[in-house]
Amino acid sequence: MTADAGDPLGWVAEELERLDAEGLRRPTRVCRTLPGGRVEIDGRELWNFGSNDYLGLAASPLSPDREEGAVLTGAGDSPPDSVADGCERPLPYGRASALPCGATASPAVVGRSPEVAELERTIAEFEGTEDAVVFPTGYAANLGTVSALTGPGDAVFLERDCHACLVDGARLGGGRLRVWRRGPGWAGGLPKLERELQKAADARRRWIVTDAVFSMDGDAVPLPGLLELARRYDAAIVMDEAHATGVCGRGGRGWWEACGTEVEDAPPTDPRVIRTGTLSKAVGAAGGFVSGSQSLCDYLRHTAKSHIFSTALPPAVAAAGTANLRWIASPAGAAARERLERTGTRLTRALRDAFGVDRLPGTEGCPIVPLLCGDPNAAVRASAALAEAGFFVPAIRPPTVPRGTSRLRVSLSAAHPDEAVDDLANALIHLLKDAA
C-alpha cells in the first residue's frame, strides 16, 4: 500500500503496518492495578508480573493521618507477618480525596504546594542530602537535570542501555556524546570508559550518565569503579536510581546506599554523584526527583526546563509519595525488601536451572528477571501463552532493547505470594520448554 498523495499523514499507517510485520506493534490495553500483585487487563484478572510496583504499594490504599506526629517515622515499628499486614501508611494532611488533584501552574510561577514542599523535605531526609527537587515525572527529572547541567564544550559519557530520558537530556544539553558499555561482570566495560575519559581531557566538564539498576537487564552499574574513574578524571556522575529506590540498600535508599560499604566516602557525602529517581515505581505514586546540595537544587529550580515550564505534581500525589517513602524507610519497608530479594533469588535460580544462565542475564535477588527469547515474535507468543495460563509478563522488544535480544521481563513485587511465583516458574518452564 502506498500513501495517498492527498494525505500528508498517510505514511503513519504504513509505519504501523511495518511495526506489525516486524512483531513490534504494541497493544493498547486497558490495565487496572489491583492489590496483592494482581492486575485486570482488558477485563481479565491475572497475576501481575509486569509492573514496577516492587513493594506492592501502588494499589494499596493509604489511611488518613489520624495521629498528629505519627507520620514522621512511618507505620509499622516491627516487621509485619505479611506484606499486606505491614502496608498501612498514614497519609499526611488527611484523606487523599480531600487534597487537590490539580497543581494549577508551574512551581516557578505559583510556588510549591505544601505537599510538594513536604515531599521535597522528606526526600532530602531519606536520601541524606541538603535538599531535593520534585519534578512531575521521573522522565522530566532526568531530562531536566541532564539538559540543565551539561552543555556545549562538555563531554557526556552515556551508558549504552541507560534510559531514554537521560539520552534525551544529554542531547538537549548540547555536549559531545560518547557511548560506553558497562559490559559483563562487575568491572567489565570500565577500561573503555577510561580511554574515553582520557580523550576528553580538554572538555569543559566531563559527565558520566547511567542508570543505577538497568530496567531491562536486572543488573546494576559498577559504582565503586565508576566513582574511582570520576575522581581520577575529574568527572561528575548522574545516576538514575529509578529501579533502585525502595529496592536496594538496607534503608531502601537505592544503589548508592547498597554500595556504601564499598565506596570510600560514606554516602551521601560525595558531591560528584548526582542522584535522580522516580516515585512511580517502588514508591508506588508518581513524580521524579533529584537530591543533592542546596546549591545544586536551587540551580536546577532555576534552569531545568521540565521543572520551570511544567505544572507541578498534584498535591494528592505528592502526599502519597511522602507517606510511601516514610513506609519504605520503616521496619515494614525493610521486611518487604528482604522478602523481595528472597523471591528474586528463588525465581532466578529455578529458571537458570531450566534454561541456563545465558538466557537469564540478570542478577540473583533483583526483582527484574529477564528471560531472553531473541526474536520479537517468540517473545510475544510466550507472553500470550503466559496470559492464557493466568500470568501477565510483558514481551520487551526493540527499540526498548537491542535487536536480537527480545525477552520476557518478569518483574516481582513483595505483594506476590510465594505460590504465585512458583506457579509462574512452572508455567514458564512448561510453556517455553515445549516451544523449544
Q: Which of 113, 129, 147, 280 binds ligand PMP (CB under 6 A)?
A: 280
Among 163, 397, 407, 416, binds ligand PMP (CB under 6 A): 163
Q: How far is the CB of 215 from ligand PMP (least distance, A)?
A: 4
Pick from 398, 391, 427, 396: nearest CA to 409: 396
Cα distance from N-terminal residue to C-terminal residue, the chain: 35
Q: What is the dihedral of CA 98, 56, 223, 408, to 10 degrees?
A: -130
Q: Kind of pairing, strands 90-91 and 63-64?
A: parallel
Candidates 123-131, 237-245, 252-260, 336-344; binding stretch for ligand PMP (CB under 6 A): 237-245
Nearer to ligand PMP, 278 or 322 (CB): 278
Q: Which of 53, 154, 161, 211 binds ligand PMP (CB under 6 A)?
A: 211
Q: Which is nearer to ligand PMP, 203 or 304 (CB)?
A: 304
Give the nearest residue (CB) to ligand PMP: 138
Distance of CA 238 to the CA centre of its chain: 14
Please check whether residue 334 is in contact with residue 79, taking contact to mean a CB–CB distance below 8 angstroms: yes
SS3 48: strand
Residue 223 or 427: which CB sits closer to ligand PMP? Answer: 223
Whether the ω angle into residue 376 lies within 30 degrees of 0, i.e. cis, is no
Binding-residue total with ligand PMP (CB under 6 A): 14
Residues in 398-417 that interact with ligand PMP by CB under 6 A: none
Residue 245 is a binding residue for ligand PMP (CB under 6 A):
no
CB of 306 to ligand PMP, least distance (A): 10
Q: How far is the CB of 223 from ligand PMP (least distance, A)?
A: 15
Output the DSSP codes for 250-276: TTS--HHHHTTTTSSSPTT--TTEEEE
Contact flags string 116-155 toward ligand PMP, x per CB under 6 A = ---------------------xxx--x-------------
- Report whether 142 contacts 173 (CB < 8 A): no
C-alpha distances (whole Å) from 47 to each of 36, 38, 68 are 9, 5, 37
Which positions lie near ligand PMP, rule CB under 6 A?
A: 137-139, 142, 163, 165, 211, 215, 240, 242-243, 278, 280, 288
